[in-house]
């Protein structure tokens, strides 16, 4: 095989140290230079200087957990070609595995250009990604705490969730705080906390809190959950303000993506934080869909497909796109994806249909960011117009075209011959 990189470095990354091997293929017989470094920052700078001293601008390493990130940060901006590869593409042969051999094996594979690079966004996108993922974690944590609090109400024979649409609303929260307090309360104290706009009757509200059986330990637990929810609300709000500051350079892209049905500002920020704005990083939309975990798997043997399930990739991007897909299907202003979902769900079921819609949205995002074109699917007119209307429109066009042909001197027989020739894909010249 042809050597693509005359000088290539393979790096075996560990938590406390790295092993680097430079493969020099400028001579007939490759020459190898091996050295070990710690993962302290000053040692990583020493590693970078060692590469520069040996005129090596091509480095490949495994994406080993989070341990590769400090190495990548040290090389970014100084080494022109830094590749982070999926471990499955640089897996060593069984029985021939150790730290030195792993680094040499990576260098040998990389110099031939057969190692596929993982997608690594720019520094600002990576920072934004860290914050959006943390926001996702905090939001899920808050949801868990709210569910835990609701379950506590049910266990304690409190039925406020049956009379209030939002158990964490102003009126419901005030009633719960009154009950959780150590002070004695009467029915009038409960009703004083109810907002005048509340649609539930006073009788139903009192029946909902009648017979509550909370001991002091249960009240203490619920108070702790409330305080945690309040803390999470403040943390989420603060984090969102920080994110809003970071995404100011990408406001144009955010507004651009919001033109797609189902995408709002928050989901647009999440999408940009995961895939960035430069779609040239992905060779095609198929590659992007596979990276996001929205492409069917390939597991075929002896002509039999054993599984076509989607992969586990896209832990953060995929849930966001699925949420967008649900919103797009329910969009009343543009029913494009609603029609697509209805067609797919009849054949593939609702779950597979919503995944297909999420993939379609991701493909639309890819082409919009790549070309700068607005959201305008090629079959949008066919979806928005019924078959009856399209037939009527086509008939009118046909009548007008036929009149023009008659005005040009063609006879009825010649027009029939032309129609038949076009129908059979045979171009018959008319004399």
> How long is the chain?
431
Residue 410, C-beta contacts closer than 8 angstroms, at least 6 positions apart: 418, 430
What is the share, in percent, of the chain residues with pLDDT greater than 90?
51
Residue 354 has a pLDDT of 95
Residue 425 has a pLDDT of 52
- The mean of the pLDDT values for the chain is 87
Domain boundary among 78, 111, 144: 111
pLDDT band at 431 (very low <50, low <70, confident <90, very high): very low
Tell me whether residue 381 is in a domain: no
Instruction: State pLDDT tens for residues 3-54.
Output: 899 999 999 999 999 999 999 998 888 999 999 999 999 999 999 999 999 9
Residue 417, C-beta contacts closer than 8 angstroms, at least 6 positions apart: 428, 430
pLDDT band at 426 (very low <50, low <70, confident <90, very high): very low
69 and 25, same structural domain? yes
Instruction: Look up residue 87 and give its two tokens.
Output: 């471990």
224 and 163, same structural domain? yes
Q: Does residue 303 register a pLDDT over 80?
A: no
Residue 94 has a pLDDT of 61
Most confident range (mean pLDDT) of 85-99, 104-118, 120-134, 193-207 is 120-134
Residue 193 has a pLDDT of 83
Section 97-125 average pLDDT: 86
258 and 231, same structural domain? no
171 and 82, same structural domain? no
Domain boundary among 203, 231, 246: 246
Q: Does residue 252 register a pLDDT over 80?
A: yes
Residue ranges of E strands in 227-303: 299-301
Tell me whether residue 431 is in a domain: no
Residue 54, C-beta contacts closer than 8 angstroms, at least 6 positions apart: 7, 22, 33
* Residues facing residue 19 across a β-bridge: 12, 36
Domain boundary among 204, 224, 246: 246
What is the share, in percent, of the chain residues with pLDDT greater than 70?
90
Domain that holds residue 418: 387-423
Residue 394 has a pLDDT of 75
327 and 231, same structural domain? no
Q: Are 247 and 128 in contact (CB under 8 A)?
A: yes
179 and 156, same structural domain? yes
172 and 90, same structural domain? no
Tell me whether residue 430 is in a domain: no
Residue 427 has a pLDDT of 43
Residue 430 has a pLDDT of 44
Q: Does residue 347 register a pLDDT over 60?
A: yes
Q: Does residue 153 register a pLDDT over 80?
A: yes
Tell me whether residue 228 is in a domain: yes
Q: Tokens 């499955």: give the residue.
A: 88
Section 177-181 average pLDDT: 87
Instruction: Look up residue 178 and give its two tokens.
Output: 């009154």
405 and 325, same structural domain? no
259 and 357, same structural domain? yes
Q: Does residue 297 register a pLDDT over 90?
A: no
Q: Does residue 428 register a pLDDT over 60?
A: no
Tell me whether residue 319 is in a domain: yes
Q: Does residue 91 register a pLDDT over 80?
A: no
Tell me whether residue 376 is in a domain: no
- For residue 343, which of 360, 321, 327 has the smallest C-alpha distance? 360
342 and 267, same structural domain? yes
Q: Are 291 and 318 in contact (CB under 8 A)?
A: no
Tell me whether residue 103 is in a domain: yes
CATH of residue 224? 1.10.287
Q: Which of 32-41, 249-258, 291-300 has the lowest mean pLDDT?
A: 291-300
The count of domains in the chain is 4
Q: Does residue 118 register a pLDDT over 90?
A: no
State the Cα–Cα distance between residues 107 and 85, nearest whole angstrom. Answer: 12
Q: Does residue 423 register a pLDDT over 70?
A: no
State the Cα–Cα distance between residues 21 and 96, nearest whole angstrom. Answer: 16
Tell me whether residue 140 is in a domain: yes
Instruction: Look up residue 273 and give its two tokens.
Output: 């934080």
Residue 245 has a pLDDT of 96
293 and 233, same structural domain? no
Q: Does residue 95 register a pLDDT over 60?
A: no
93 and 151, same structural domain? no
């Amino acid at each position: 095989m042809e050597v693509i990189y005359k000088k290539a470095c393979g790096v075996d990354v560990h938590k406390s140290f790295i092993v680097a091997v430079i493969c020099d293929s400028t001579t007939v017989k490759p020459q190898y230079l091996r050295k070990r470094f710690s993962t302290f920052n000053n040692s990583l700078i020493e590693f970078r200087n060692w590469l520069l001293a040996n005129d090596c601008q091509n480095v490949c390493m495994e994406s080993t957990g989070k341990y590769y990130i400090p190495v990548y940060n040290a090389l970014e901006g100084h080494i022109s070609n830094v590749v982070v590869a999926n471990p499955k593409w640089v897996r060593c042969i069984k029985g021939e595995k150790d730290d030195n051999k792993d680094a040499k094996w990576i260098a040998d594979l990389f110099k031939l250009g057969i190692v596929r690079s993982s997608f690594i966004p720019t520094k600002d996108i990576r920072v934004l990604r860290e914050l959006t993922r943390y926001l996702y974690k905090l939001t899920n944590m808050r949801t868990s705490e709210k569910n835990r609090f609701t379950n506590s109400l049910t266990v304690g024979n409190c039925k406020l969730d049956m009379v209030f649409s939002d158990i964490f609303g102003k009126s419901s929260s005030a009633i719960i705080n009154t009950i959780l307090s150590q002070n004695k309360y009467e029915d009038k104290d409960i009703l004083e906390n109810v907002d005048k706009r509340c649609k539930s009757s006073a009788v139903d509200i009192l029946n909902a809190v009648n017979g509550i059986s909370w001991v002091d330990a249960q009240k203490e637990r619920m108070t702790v959950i409330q305080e945690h929810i309040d803390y999470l609300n403040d943390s989420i709000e603060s984090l969102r303000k920080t994110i809003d500051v970071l995404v100011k350079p990408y406001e144009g892209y955010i507004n651009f993506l919001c033109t797609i049905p189902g995408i709002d500002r928050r989901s647009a920020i999440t999408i940009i934080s995961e895939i960035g704005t430069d779609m040239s990083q992905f060779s095609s939309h198929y590659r992007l869909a596979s990276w996001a975990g929205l492409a069917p798997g390939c597991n075929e043997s002896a002509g039999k497909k054993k599984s076509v399930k989607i992969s586990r990739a896209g832990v953060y991007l995929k849930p966001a796109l699925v949420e967008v897909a649900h919103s797009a299907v329910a969009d009343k202003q543009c029913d494009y994806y609603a029609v697509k979902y209805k067609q797919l769900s009849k054949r593939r079921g609702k779950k597979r249909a919503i995944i297909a819609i999420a993939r379609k949205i991701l493909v639309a995002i890819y082409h919009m960011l790549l070309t700068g074109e607005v959201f305008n699917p090629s079959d949008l007119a066919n979806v928005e117009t019924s078959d009856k209307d399209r037939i009527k429109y086509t008939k009118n066009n046909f009548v007008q075209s036929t009149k023009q042909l008659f005005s040009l001197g063609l006879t009825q027989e010649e027009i029939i011959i032309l129609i038949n020739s076009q129908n059979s894909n045979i171009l018959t010249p008319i004399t």
